[in-house]
Structure 1
């Protein structure tokens, strides 16, 4: 639920009470600033969110938005309490810190009454070595009792839906350095330890209680320790809120039992994104084409090529389709409707009709046009420069609509 916070703040602040105050900087020890006082916008809000896997969640939060001398939001705190029929009461503390457009820190702490918990810290720094070196670090530990598995291949049926708890602890890290104009060489390291347990959704069978799923690789848990090498070419004008340019990435990732993984396998990935503005970026056409392939024996099911969720096929829940490969195409038109300032927070409000098209397959040469999922939909976005995007995306798949609330653009 951490990703729903900021969009709901912006979406509802127009009709709910809020206040602006100026607090002495000395009373805010976690905020580094040269200001004597800091502008703080405080907004109490109800929260209602929905996702295909988790169902409906409701509760309340209080958001604290701190501004710098340029009146930009540089810090966000949002304590939250909510209720979900599967997980009971959950308490969450989310914090985002943006000391500059090139540096950010995000922290999330969440604990529910039943099964679910989430502890994360995400760091990004693009301001090292004269802004040449880019570092990213994500450390996490979570339990998600809403996870689903339907089987492999694009024709896995909704009637075969099973539930489990996905418990993971690990990290991802990467370092990128320019080797040519607009071109980075990126080295990455990833580790996670995964345990599979009984899920929280009692109306569905447990993954290992379904006979044909009981012995799939990874059903008893697994470890993944992989190293990645990638080449990235980018002419985007902004890494967080791009309006023009292209970004191309090709990567290979290797997982070896010699380094602690449960199996030997490789990931190959290629992705191309483009941003084309019109009318002073009032309209931005955004497209993405992606290919992913996983090669190896006994590859854990959660380490294969996966589609479904808020950033791939938005007409389905997370991890809906799993196989050895996938092809994916996303196209959306980001339309800036208006610019509105509420309680001293200025946001660009966007409408984004989109189309998602994708399929999983055993290998690329076995791809079948009839297996591709076509997910039309529409998104609603609130963009607070220079670093915050809140969104709601509603996609339509063959199994009905799916609604995702999140932070950041989907791609």
Structure 2
């Protein structure tokens, strides 16, 4: 299918969208709540799904986005069924939902099942109304999941891992991550977290790539036969962002320590240290937003499972590579992108900001920061395209270029 045909097909699907008014009684909770009027404005937009990445390969399909508007004409609910095809996973059926009933509460789910290997069932929740301490609300975050990813890759440890050592596997995982945040001041928050993760390593879905256990041994790669991790975290967060979901200005800084102990059920004892700094600098009434992120991560311990180490690669770190491309005991990462609003367009009474975002990703894995070498750093330039429906929804396509070829990532939300 040529580029012209793809563009014409995409334009046709968008133009076949529509806006309807639906009686609220036909849209029960949690699709609607007391913030919705009656009838409810529902915007329906069919879209093509065209993506490719080093791990998954080409994905073709389509989705239909149902955007439900509250009485303030804001998108409070998004439901998106999707069907796509990939030569490794076969046909995949998915249902995604995101709900924003209050500024202090949002939750989302994803249900996905492929005809070959892949599956994904997850729920995320953020709530700042449920718990309180000393009269102050506590921010509760929870993530519950069960998935199998048959596209996973491992190349070996260190920044010099070679493409010819590429292996494939399926990591079947289930677990839960929870955190409770207490506001020390208006901009400073203390967070206590708990994480449980159970991983089983199985043959993957990419038959043309060797299986991980056929090339690496347990002695070389701890966790290659699966593992259990149970860790506790403490973090301090400084936040002056003007919006949680779609910030246009401000600073965000986070420092955290996480410990995993065999006494509490982990297969190995180790510690994670992480520091992250993000800055958003707007110009021309936020038509241009320069976004900078710097992050350092270090993992200390013996026999640390390979998926619990410091990892780079994928749609939120080095966008020129597939997920988990580089693995070692530490990483240093810098992301720089310029988010430029090209125009604001109303499609079916939905005001949408259309953005282009040239970016540079720079990062490397290493044994420790004092072992960092300039030649180890990966330089990934690229460009992103975003459709922004304020105050909650971001659809994006990011195209990154690494030394092993281009990568295209399609998803929801900003990468950072």
| TM-score, structure 2 as length reference | 0.93
Q: Distance in 2 between matches of 1:324 and 1:12?
A: 46
Shift, 1:50, TM fit: 2.0
Q: Which stretches in structure 1 are left out of the alignment for 5+ residues?
A: 1-7
Shift, 1:12, TM fit: 5.2
Q: Distance in 1 between matches of 2:80 and 2:136?
A: 31
- Of 372, 392, 396, 2:397 maps to 392
Q: Distance in 1 between matches of 2:361 and 2:12?
A: 31
CA deviation string 1:22-59 (max 9, x = no partner): 11101111221352210111233332222221111122
**1:408 maps to what in 2?**
413
**1:5 maps to what in 2?**
none
Helix, strand or coil for the counterpart of 1:180? coil
Q: Distance in 1 between matches of 2:139 and 2:355?
A: 29
Q: Distance in 1 between matches of 2:322 and 2:297?
A: 19
Shift, 1:187, TM fit: 0.4
**1:77 maps to what in 2?**
79
Q: Distance in 2 between matches of 1:12 and 1:246?
A: 38
- Of 159, 167, 184, 1:154 maps to 159
- Of 180, 184, 206, 2:189 maps to 184
Q: Distance in 1 between matches of 2:109 and 2:289?
A: 31
Q: Distance in 2 between matches of 1:212 and 1:185?
A: 41
* 1:219 is aligned to 2:224: yes
Shift, 1:16, TM fit: 3.0
CA 1:153–1:12 in structure 2 vs 1: closer, same or farther (change >3 Å)?
farther
Divergent runs of 4+, >6 A: none
* 1:320 is aligned to 2:331: no
Shift, 1:388, TM fit: 1.0
CA 1:217–1:234 in structure 2 vs 1: closer, same or farther (change >3 Å)?
same
**1:52 maps to what in 2?**
54
**1:119 maps to what in 2?**
121
Q: Distance in 2 between matches of 1:140 and 1:271?
A: 25
> What are the within-5 Å matches in structure 2 for residues 88-99 of structure 1?
88-99=90-101
Shift, 1:126, TM fit: 3.1
Q: Distance in 2 between matches of 1:184 and 1:25?
A: 38
- Of 297, 311, 327, 1:306 maps to 311
Shift, 1:90, TM fit: 1.3
Contact 2:141–2:180 (CA<8 Å) still a contact in 1? Answer: yes
* 1:32 is aligned to 2:37: no
Q: Which moved more, 1:386-395 or 1:317-326?
A: 386-395
Contact 1:207–1:213 (CA<8 Å) still a contact in 2? Answer: no
Shift, 1:62, TM fit: 2.5
CA deviation string 1:210-245 (max 9, x = no partner): 045774100000001100000001111111100111
CA deviation string 1:138-181 (max 9, x = no partner): 10000000000000000101111000001100011111111134
Helix, strand or coil for the counterpart of 2:15? coil
Q: Distance in 1 between matches of 2:373 and 2:323?
A: 22
CA deviation string 1:278-317 (max 9, x = no partner): 1111111110110000000000000000000011111100
**2:369 maps to what in 1?**
364
Contact 1:251–1:268 (CA<8 Å) still a contact in 2? Answer: yes
**1:268 maps to what in 2?**
273
CA deviation string 1:171-199 (max 9, x = no partner): 11111111134100000111110000001
**2:337 maps to what in 1?**
332
| TM-score, structure 1 as length reference | 0.94
* 1:206 is aligned to 2:207: no
Contact 1:330–1:356 (CA<8 Å) still a contact in 2? Answer: yes
Q: Distance in 1 between matches of 2:324 and 2:51?
A: 19
CA 1:329–1:234 in structure 2 vs 1: closer, same or farther (change >3 Å)?
same
> What are the within-5 Å matches in structure 2 for residues 274-293 of structure 1?
274-293=279-298
Q: Distance in 2 between matches of 1:408 and 1:15?
A: 20
Contact 2:398–2:410 (CA<8 Å) still a contact in 1? Answer: yes
Contact 2:79–2:95 (CA<8 Å) still a contact in 1? Answer: yes
Shift, 1:131, TM fit: 7.1
CA 1:28–1:103 in structure 2 vs 1: closer, same or farther (change >3 Å)?
same
Q: Distance in 2 between matches of 1:350 and 1:127?
A: 33
CA 1:309–1:13 in structure 2 vs 1: closer, same or farther (change >3 Å)?
farther
CA deviation string 1:307-349 (max 9, x = no partner): 0001111110000000000001111111111111111221111
Contact 1:325–1:363 (CA<8 Å) still a contact in 2? Answer: yes
Q: Which stretches in structure 2 are left out of the alignment for 5+ residues?
A: 1-6
Q: Distance in 1 between matches of 2:105 and 2:22?
A: 24
Contact 2:195–2:230 (CA<8 Å) still a contact in 1? Answer: yes
Q: How many residue pairs were aligned?
A: 402
Contact 2:291–2:336 (CA<8 Å) still a contact in 1? Answer: yes
